[in-house]
Structure 1
Amino acid sequence: GRSKETTTVPNKPIPTGYKVWGAAQRGFLLVWNWHIPGQKNGPVGVRTPRALGGIIKAGNGGNKTQAVVLHLIQRLPEPPKGSGYYVYLDNLFVSTRFV
C-alpha cells in the first residue's frame, strides 16, 4: 500500500510492514504503541525523559527506544494486590543511563 506509516527493516523475514511497540503477558498484549518512521516521529506520543537525554521543554531528543519502554511500563494496568510485573529487556533497550 501507500501508507506513510510503513517501516522497512531489511533483515526481517517480512521486511516491510507496520511497527508496533508492545508489552505482553502470557501471550496477551496489555499495552501497545504505534510507530511512525522518521527521525522527528518514532513512537507516537512518547516523550523522552531528561534522564535519557530528552530536552526538558519539548520532551524529545535522546534515546526514544529506551523512552518507549518507560512509556509502556507506565501505561500497564494496575496489577492485582500483592502481585506486580517483571520486565525483561535485551541489549537493544538497556544502557547504564537507562538502568
Structure 2
Amino acid sequence: MEQYNSPDEKPWVPILKPRKSGVVAYGKFAVEEYNRSSNASLEFKSVLQGAQRKIGGRKYTWLDINTSNGKYRADMYGWGGSKGHKVLISFNKLNY
C-alpha cells in the first residue's frame, strides 16, 4: 500500500492525452525555461508521456518531452491553473 507524507498529498495520475493543449503548453514552458536558464537552443517537438499530482495548493507535473536534441524529463510545479505560475524544478536528458 502506498503511503503519503500528508493528507494533502495525492498519488501520481498518468496524463492520458499528452497532445492536449494544456499539456503541450507545460512542455513548451519547460523547454523555454531550460533554454533561458542554460543558454541552450532546444526546440520543442512533443510531449511523450507524463503524470501529475496535487500536494497542498500546488500541482506537480513530470513530462517526458521530445526535443530537437533527444528526449528529456521535465519536473515542475504550478498553481493558479494553466495561466498561473509555473516553476521548472529539473530538466534532464533521458537515455531511452
Structure 2 length-normalised TM: 0.24
Query: Quick check: which one's helix share is greater?
Result: 2
Q: Of the two, which has the highest radius of gyration?
A: 1
Query: Quick check: which one's strand share is greater?
Result: 2
Structure 1 length-normalised TM: 0.24
Greater length-normalized contact order (CA 8 Å, ≥ 6 residues apart): 2
